[in-house]
Amino acid sequence: MDEEFALISPIFPSSGGVATYTKYLFDEEIKINKNIVVLADKLSIKLDENKNINRCWDKNLKFPYQLSKEIIKRKIKKIHIQQEMHIFGSKITAFILPFFILFLRSIKREITVTLHGVVPLNEVDKDFLKENGYSGNPVLIKLVLKILYSLICLFSSKIIVHEKKFKDYLKDYWVDIDKVYVIGHGIKSKDNLLSKKISRERLGLQDKYTFLYFGYVTGYKGIELLMDALKKIKYNDFNLIFVGSVHPRLKDEPKYKDYYNNIKDFISNDKRCIFSGYVDEKDIDYYFRAADCSIFPYTVQMSSSGPMALAIANENLIIASESFNSVVLKKLIFKRNPDSLIDLMKQAKTGKLNSEIKEIANMKKRLSWTNIAKKTLGVINK
């Protein structure tokens, strides 16, 4: 009989990419081990969920006590924690997490942590802080990040990251690299893809070559580069769908509201573009299937991209900034300037990159959630 173990994370319909990630991972892992329990965040509404999902903790300082109580009561020995900076609430909870892990290790629990983002320390400067809505001294921020992640990795039994480059970033964090495993971000298999024609009609789009930007509106996503490219492109024979939702951490800050509204106004006033804010989960595939090519103009890649996984699942062509070197094929990478982006958009639109779609389909098979669940359980059970 499989030993019961716990997956600690928010899970959909909680908001955020990690919650969705956890849902897909759990759906596949429970087919392999029926004794997995998800210790998830509480919600204000009551849900009819899988009996193995236990919503038992709040996103505040009480989370270590609430989780410890449940783990001890259930006699759970193996625990898999999903980590992102604000996943347990405020910045303070982020710094409590390593000591919660240390406590669990002290009572003989085996802890695997998936780091959903790793900041490359050499990128942390004033521009980086501004792009991510933080203030402070970059040198101090680097030290704080280094201490936080080094403690999480030190106290954990094993660490999982989604890209080899994230494992390389951890070398600057005083981390024992031998305990770090690379397992890609899962991609949901879609056997019956929506019709492109129907998807475009639903969104009110003309039947033209269609580009897509999808994700939170934040500085490091490089949206200004896309805007600069649009200013320089004089032709009209394409659509651009811009799905830019408000970042939940920044939504109440006046500066961020101005930043968001400026981008919204610019995109909305370009007749080649349609702007959409939040998109309901059930409608997401219509946006990706309406598109031929998804654009990722990020200034830095510090986490695996959920929207990129969705683009691959829906068999979009992908073009990305050089921040995605070693993640995306070289032919699909543009430099961080408008002319380079425009050139790759033109190549995509004229079909010169169509041969790369086959490799994207191969990624879809390789990174299926079934394969990711097997690999994840393999690491946990080592």
Confidence of residue 1 (pLDDT cuts 50, 70, 90): very low
What is the CATH classification number for the domain harbouring 317?
Answer: 3.40.50.2000
Residue 312 identity: I
Sheet holding 110-115, edge to edge: 53-57, 36-41, 5-8, 78-83, 110-115, 158-161, 180-182
Q: Is residue 245 part of a domain?
A: yes
Please check the confidence at residue 319 and state whether its pLDDT lies above 70: yes
By the 8 A CB rule, do 150 and 175 touch? Answer: yes
- Crossing angle between the packed helical segments 138-155 and 91-106, to the nearest 10 degrees: 20
Using one digit for the tens of pLDDT, what is the confidence trace for 281-291? Answer: 888 999 999 99
Question: ∠242-247-251 over CA atoms, to 5°?
Answer: 120
Using one digit for the tens of pLDDT, what is the confidence trace for 215-260? Answer: 989 888 999 999 999 999 999 999 999 999 888 788 888 889 999 9
Same domain, 270 and 335: yes
**Interatomic CA distance for residues 270 and 279, integer angstroms:** 20
Confidence of residue 200 (pLDDT cuts 50, 70, 90): very high
Same domain, 82 and 138: yes
Q: Is residue 86 part of a domain?
A: yes
User: Concatenated DSSP letters for 178-239?
Assistant: GGEEE-PPPB---SSPPPHHHHHHHHT--SSEEEEEEEE--GGG-HHHHHHHHHH----SEE
Same domain, 142 and 211: no
- Crossing angle between the packed helical segments 63-74 and 91-106, to the nearest 10 degrees: 30
Please state the domain count of the chain. Answer: 2
Same domain, 109 and 205: no
Same domain, 306 and 324: yes
Q: Is residue 53 part of a domain?
A: yes
Using one digit for the tens of pLDDT, what is the confidence trace for 154-167? Answer: 999 999 999 999 99
Same domain, 47 and 165: yes
Helix (H) or strand (E) holding 372, with range, is helix 369-380
Residue 164, pLDDT score: 92
Same domain, 91 and 69: yes
Same domain, 266 and 374: no
Structural domain range at position 294: 196-365
Q: Is residue 358 part of a domain?
A: yes
Q: Is residue 191 part of a domain?
A: no
Please check the confidence at residue 192 and state whether its pLDDT lies above 80: no
The total number of residues shown for the chain amounts to 382
Same domain, 91 and 203: no
Same domain, 151 and 51: yes
Q: Is residue 271 part of a domain?
A: yes
User: Concatenated DSSP letters for 70-90?
Assistant: HHHHHT--EEEEEE-TTTTSS
Q: Is residue 331 part of a domain?
A: yes
Same domain, 240 and 151: no
Using one digit for the tens of pLDDT, what is the confidence trace for 85-138? Answer: 889 998 899 999 999 999 999 999 999 999 998 999 988 888 888 877 778 899
Same domain, 269 and 160: no
